[in-house]
Amino acid sequence: MAEVLIFHHSLGLTKGCLAFAEDLRAAGHVVHVPDLYEGRTFSTLLDGVGYAEEIGFDTVIERGRQAAEALPMEIVYAGFSLGVMPAQKLAQTRPGAKGALFLHSTVPLSEFGGSWPQGVPLQIHTMEDDDWGDVDVARDLAATIETAELFLYPGDQHLFTDRGLPDYDETAAVLVKSRVLTFLDRIR
């Protein structure tokens, strides 16, 4: 059993994000899903990213840090798209990370200090032709971090694991969930 802190994407804490978390709970994991947008949700990526820009990406990251404060240091950090920013910052800078899961996005290591903690496993999931998915950055992380696994899925949909959105790709999402559960089962 792993303990996981999941951060939502730019549309906010959607039913699809909550359903993904519930799937992990059903597999026996302890899962926390804070609302970084304080109840707001959006119907388009541009509106959601616009809101994140309005409150500031530093605010989004800080809200993620605050959510982690009350939790154990030995935790897996996960993020969907925008949520990768606080997840990656915490994985790189908060001692004790047990692992990290980046779905739909990645950030260069230099954004949060330039190095990855030794021995911390990482899984990255994105679609090959997703303009929002930072595929080049994902490839760079996978080549740089010894413990990283990169999974690229055919297609160009961004939030393809959120079953409540038009981008949902059931075939890819089922495979992501299977790989994530295998990853979490390896966490001790």
- The pLDDT tens digits for 76-105 are 999 999 999 999 999 999 999 999 999 999
Say whether pLDDT at 133 is over 90. no
Mean pLDDT value of segment 22-38: 97
From CA 14, how far away is CA 40, in angstroms rounded? 9
Mean pLDDT value of segment 126-130: 96
Tens-place pLDDT, residues 48-79: 999 999 999 999 999 999 999 999 999 999 99
Say whether pLDDT at 188 is over 80. no
What domains are there in the chain, each with its CATH number?
A: 3-186 (3.40.50.1820)
Query: Which residue, 176, 83, 141, is CA-closest to 168?
Result: 176
Mean pLDDT value of segment 142-166: 96
Least confident of 70-74, 100-104, 112-116, 171-175: 112-116
pLDDT band at 108 (very low <50, low <70, confident <90, very high): very high
pLDDT score, position 167? 94
Mean pLDDT over each residue of the chain, to the nearest integer: 96
Say whether pLDDT at 155 is over 90. yes
Mean pLDDT value of segment 1-18: 97
pLDDT score, position 3? 98
Say whether pLDDT at 23 is over 80. yes
In the chain, % of residues over pLDDT 90: 96
- List Cβ<8 Å contacts ≥24 apart for 137-145: 137/106, 137/107, 137/108, 138/102, 138/106, 140/108, 141/106, 141/108, 141/109, 141/116, 144/109, 144/116, 145/109, 145/116
